[in-house]
Amino acid sequence: MRVDFTADRAAGIQQVFGRSAVEIDRIAYDSRSVTPGTAFFCILGSERDGHAFIDNAAQNGAAAVIGMNASLLEEKQQKFPGVSFILAEDSQRAMSYFSQELYGYAYKNMHTIAVTGTNGKTTVTSFVRWLLNQSGIKTGSIGTEKVLDHKGKRNFPHSTHTTPEAPDLHYIFHKFFGEKLKAVVLEVTSIAIEQRRVDGMMFDIGVLTNLTPEHIDYHDTFEQYKAAKMKLFHQVKKAVVNLDDEKMGKELASTFAGPVLTYSMQEKGDVRASIVEIASSGTFITLFIHDDAYDVFLPFFGTHNIANFMAAVCSCMHMNLPVSLLLKQLPGLQPPAGRFQFIDTCAKYRIISDFAHTPDALKKVITSVKQMNYSRLILLIAGNGVRDKRQLPELAEVVQGEADITVVAVEHPDRSERREILIEVLNGFTEKSAPIYTELYRDKGVEKALSLAGEGDLVLLTGLGSLDHQVIEGVEVPYAEIDVIHRYLKASKDKAGTK
């Protein structure tokens, strides 16, 4: 399509070296994927500067190059006169705007639900997708679980672990619209907001799950982290807000300019819940929606998951779905893999896998586990090298005294020394009243936790959840925890059989 780079002032284009209107058929931010007719955007990364790859992009056939270095762009235009060089105030902002244009603003033709918060994004996204699909609205999702349509997982490019870069995001919207999907629910992280991956978009619904300190290594301060989250709610028409969240929820609920639905386990929200009974296969609750009360069975566990369920219900209510229709869909509703997930084994003890990797998430999952019956609680926590290192001792602080046995391991070491990560976590323990075991490798930590379990015990494996890799020396190395568990159980069975 023909793109006039000076037509949309909001994109922040400042100057053009060459032609301003160019035939473009795709957008790239990696020079290696440039083909003739591509608009190449120079992105400043944490390790590389896209401006360093302008020659590669031009030689591969780029029709336009968008960057932020005026003198360099002018110089390159002399070297490649057939290429238009566009000076932008912010390349990523411009990339978001032109990605929308290239793909015909496809997202505007579907209901869009943007989910943000420190914890719970993936579960809320999964719940919304399920409820809408089961209610007859073909819905896709984008987030930590990659990309799913109404049937299952899709093999779309997914440039980051949660919120894709703008060209990939709008390509997915474009494909979904072409396939007649009616709604898309996506996770939107604070880093994605700050990196302008969703700039210029207006979502139908925005959901806030909660806010606790995370990514402070990226945002510098908690206040800046909160400010990033707040920005999203200037880009949504309706809001869903957790009233139990003290750090942002109450403020957002009182200041948001559009329609708001609130949910709570403690306050008087529009949607509320109280636990009646925790059974072996799920949780009986009373669900309050405005002035009406419903007796509901949820086939999962955890107060935090009940809160996530209420967030999903509020999102569907904003789309005017009848409550009676939503409640019919509950028998098949399940959290995504690795979110308070029972691992099915033939062992005499139970195993739960949960993605809890922040102090707040750990606190919540342990609170939920403590409501269950078991002989002993054997807990695995893991420090890693890719998140804020200031939180490492806090992991130990929140679990201290909560488990009968604690195993501390290392996951995602990236370029950090495993032993240093382990020591940082251990520094958070001020008492040694219960046994603490350490392992430098996650798989060995899982094996240690399982080896210590006996009949009636509960093994809680936190941290990695269902992620299919670990980051080691900057590389995503394949890892499957379920395989580690089953290998250990098989080896134990074989060993017992030889005695």
Domain boundaries of the chain, sorted by first residue: 2-101, 103-332, 341-497
pLDDT at 495 (0 to 100): 80
pLDDT at 8 (0 to 100): 85
pLDDT at 107 (0 to 100): 98
User: With contact defined as beta carbons under 8 Å apart, do 243 and 311 qualify?
Assistant: no
Highest-confidence segment of 73-87, 202-216, 343-357: 73-87
Tokens of 491: 């080896």
Beta strand 139-143 with 26-28 is unpaired
Tell me which of 1.10.760.10, 3.20.20.150, 3.50.50.60, 3.40.1390.10 is the CATH number of domain 2-101.
3.40.1390.10
Q: 268 or 31, which is more confident?
A: 31
pLDDT at 496 (0 to 100): 74
Average pLDDT over residues 7-26: 94
The yes-or-no verdict on residue 338 having pLDDT over 90 is no
The yes-or-no verdict on residue 498 having pLDDT over 70 is no
Task: Please state, as a whole number, how many other Cβ atoms lie within 10 Å of the Cβ of residue 220.
Answer: 10
Beta strand 183-187 with 111-116 is parallel
Q: CATH says 341-497 is which class?
A: alpha beta
State the DSSP H helix or E strand holding residue 436, giving kind and residue range, or none if neither. strand 436-438
The yes-or-no verdict on residue 497 having pLDDT over 80 is no
pLDDT at 280 (0 to 100): 86
Identical fold for domains 103-332 and 341-497, yes or no, is no
pLDDT at 494 (0 to 100): 81
Average pLDDT over residues 201-219: 87
Supply the mean pLDDT for the chain. Answer: 94
pLDDT at 422 (0 to 100): 97
Model confidence over 151-173: pLDDT tens digits? 999 988 766 678 999 999 999 99
State the DSSP H helix or E strand holding residue 100, giving kind and residue range, or none if neither. helix 91-102
The yes-or-no verdict on residue 58 having pLDDT over 90 is yes
pLDDT at 386 (0 to 100): 86
Distance CA 119, CA 52 (A): 37
User: With contact defined as beta carbons under 8 Å apart, do 382 and 491 qualify?
Assistant: no
pLDDT at 216 (0 to 100): 64
Average pLDDT over residues 387-403: 92
Average pLDDT over residues 298-322: 96
Band (pLDDT 50/70/90 cuts) for residue 387 is: confident
Band (pLDDT 50/70/90 cuts) for residue 337 is: confident
Tell me which of 3.50.50.60, 3.40.50.2000, 3.40.1190.10, 3.20.20.70 is the CATH number of domain 103-332.
3.40.1190.10
Alpha helices (H) along 135-242: 166-178, 190-194, 216-219, 222-232
The yes-or-no verdict on residue 218 having pLDDT over 80 is no
The yes-or-no verdict on residue 95 having pLDDT over 70 is yes
Band (pLDDT 50/70/90 cuts) for residue 352 is: very high
Model confidence over 412-448: pLDDT tens digits? 999 999 999 999 999 999 987 799 999 999 999 999 9
- DSSP readout, 110-123? SEEEEEESSS-HHH
Average pLDDT over residues 357-385: 93
pLDDT at 189 (0 to 100): 95
The yes-or-no verdict on residue 257 having pLDDT over 70 is yes
pLDDT at 159 (0 to 100): 67
Average pLDDT over residues 366-376: 93
pLDDT at 499 (0 to 100): 58
pLDDT at 271 (0 to 100): 98
Percent of the residues in the chain that have a pLDDT greater than 70, as a whole number: 98
Band (pLDDT 50/70/90 cuts) for residue 215 is: low
pLDDT at 158 (0 to 100): 61
Distance CA 113, CA 311 (A): 11
Average pLDDT over residues 349-372: 91
CB neighbours of 73 closer than 8 A, spacing ≥ 6?
17, 65, 67, 85, 86, 87
